[in-house]
Structure 1
């Protein structure tokens, strides 16, 4: 009975994921790009928020200058402790379109997340009474600020034609550290569930998406806990009741195998969709390989979810900024330390 209950639970959870994937795939495939415009009719200003980034700030400015020769580059330095300010000033001396904006330490330079822009007046409104638009110990302050903005009635828009380039993590340890922080941040946001469900500013689909995101690490932890229990019961049944175990395998063994295969199909299919829509010059075999790698990649969610749950139970909510690849050693506590 426990094995059947676990199988039913996995199927329900898979169905929930399948609905979410189907909606995402539909939006991805039916998105119509806007008509291309003439960039020369605009004066471009690019904002680079940073703090303690002397290892990468020069390369960042050089890359932006190479891709946007006539743009003004505004570096918003959040009172760095390293040589970020000096390096930006050196670059500005060579290039009059590079500007430095120096801020006193606030803990945030105002641009939460990658490629996210928020009106200052909206953040000020959220911070009335508390002095901050998100809780002090929030691990995902960018997401929480978005939740607070939506709950307050502000309109949030995703611009499909934009993209963000960022440095990839080449260290498994730093990768797991970053993903653990995200999982723990999702667990912290479970307290938003009642407000989201009652909010008139969220559609039914929006509420389902938010709840799916919040509950994903929780479901991973439950599956990790239930799997050894189910395996133990199955092993005990095989030893104590071999005939019953054989009957169960005959009845449901193929069904469980099919469920396992079906669980991988949406992710494998996504590789083919991505190849067709974004990289049509690549072969179908490459698209299939991307999908298989994506399927294997998702299993790290179980690892980081358990780590996040343990940290949450121990009351460990502090994190340092993820170290850049160019930083061989820590620049200065608490910046660039591994958690």
Structure 2
């Protein structure tokens, strides 16, 4: 095969992948869009019907843990807080111990090396085992609900009312609530930096808020229709008997110890076991959006790598009688995004490399052969901007209705640019798998990263 033929073949393959990806994306987007606008909050439930236990994984969290524990106890007086110190190297454990000494509803889950710092799943399992030992033998575990909250997470005041309404269904094993970035719009997210760095930090925090508030929320609402809702790390509610049903008999591990997406994997296991999972958009948990590009890419690489690890569940899901047809379709769509990003990256880079070699041989011939093959994929990439731009206008309508419509359009176009980070982090995740690098590293808080307050070491 000569060079021009190779360019034609790779260009055609790239165009075909682009077409299939676009059609797949548009079908999914229309389904998500329809579900998003028809969602309604639940009527408040009876909070007193259940006992509530908050798990807070803490690894070097002295900058936020005291405030988070106090807020949970003040907002939800009857709850129990289980703060998990994962062998922190700062004052995290001392802060928790001080609060626990004066409040019997605050519990320290102390972890020590070498059994500590093995991942968030392992930390949550330690709290699960300690809670099980603490509960009376005759406790009705079906009315015990665990909520996982990040150390910087802030639950809305109506979170338990919405969760109570959902858990009135005895077949409901878990529920995920919406996530928001409370520092979106912060005028100085990086007070130590210049104007350009602050502009980029503001944009990054805003894009994460748009992503979670409309794009991810719409996906979860669609998944509620297909019974394939995914659990997230922050703001997930889980019935204790559902955790019992998926816990490993030998290790009593309800969350996969070795997973980078232990939350999503535990949800998959519940669905495979016959439980239902719901998404509650009538309430939310807020967290800090990352304002450092490097830390953002580190976090998203871990997520992408975890998503690739979840591919091992796909055969079981496709064979499962507990998944509906549309649930299998939606889950396959989600899990196959990573491999598709990798395939598109490979074909695109190969095509561009061949075009570059052709260009060095003769610019005129290169332009004749490359233009036709570059045109179609470029058009499809531009078409994809339309639906994402509409997410920006919907974000404005639902979150910031006082803003101008032009701001919503710009947020949507920004989201279009922002989503292409997925190609980078997915390939980085694949590289880590190939190199056998499966360790879990904590994403440092903004205050730590910028040197505001005590600084904790990063693994």
Match of 1:159 among 269, 276, 280: 280
CA contact (8 A) 2:100 2:108 kept: no
2: CA distance, partners of 1:40 / 1:248: 63
1:117 aligns with 2:133: no
Gaps in structure 1 of 5+ consecutive residues: none
> How many residues in Structure 1 have an aligned counterpart in Structure 2?
328
Could you say if the C-alpha distance between residues 92 and 136 of structure 1 is closer, same or farther in structure 2, counting changes exceeding 3 Å? closer
Partner SS for 1:311: helix
Partner SS for 2:276: coil
Could you say if the C-alpha distance between residues 130 and 210 of structure 1 is closer, same or farther in structure 2, counting changes exceeding 3 Å? farther
Partner SS for 1:230: helix
C-alpha RMSD of matched pairs (Å): 3.1
2: CA distance, partners of 1:40 / 1:319: 35
TM-score by length of 1: 0.84
Could you say if the C-alpha distance between residues 87 and 16 of structure 1 is closer, same or farther in structure 2, counting changes exceeding 3 Å? same
2: CA distance, partners of 1:129 / 1:99: 29
Q: Find the counterpart in structure 1 of residue 34 from structure 2.
A: 26
CA contact (8 A) 1:56 1:326 kept: no
Q: Find the counterpart in structure 1 of residue 108 from structure 2.
A: 102
Q: Find the counterpart in structure 1 of residue 21 from structure 2.
A: 13
| Structure 1 residues 131-142: aligned runs within 5 Å | 131=251, 132-142=253-263
CA contact (8 A) 2:86 2:110 kept: no
Partner SS for 1:326: helix
Match of 2:392 among 258, 267, 271: 271
CA contact (8 A) 2:63 2:447 kept: yes
CA contact (8 A) 1:269 1:288 kept: yes
Name whichever of 105-114 and 299-308 sits farther off.
Answer: 105-114
| Structure 1 residues 64-103: aligned runs within 5 Å | 64=72, 68=75, 71-72=77-78, 74-79=80-85, 81-82=87-88, 83-88=91-96, 90-91=98-99, 99-103=105-109
Q: Find the counterpart in structure 1 of residue 11 from structure 2.
A: 3
TM-score by length of 2: 0.63
**As a proportion of its length, which structure holds more strand?**
2
| Structure 1 residues 149-298: aligned runs within 5 Å | 149-236=270-357, 239=361, 242=364, 246=368, 249=371, 255-298=376-419
How big is the shift at 1:135? 3.7
CA contact (8 A) 2:41 2:280 kept: no
Partner SS for 1:103: strand
Could you say if the C-alpha distance between residues 130 and 193 of structure 1 is closer, same or farther in structure 2, counting changes exceeding 3 Å? farther
CA contact (8 A) 2:244 2:254 kept: yes
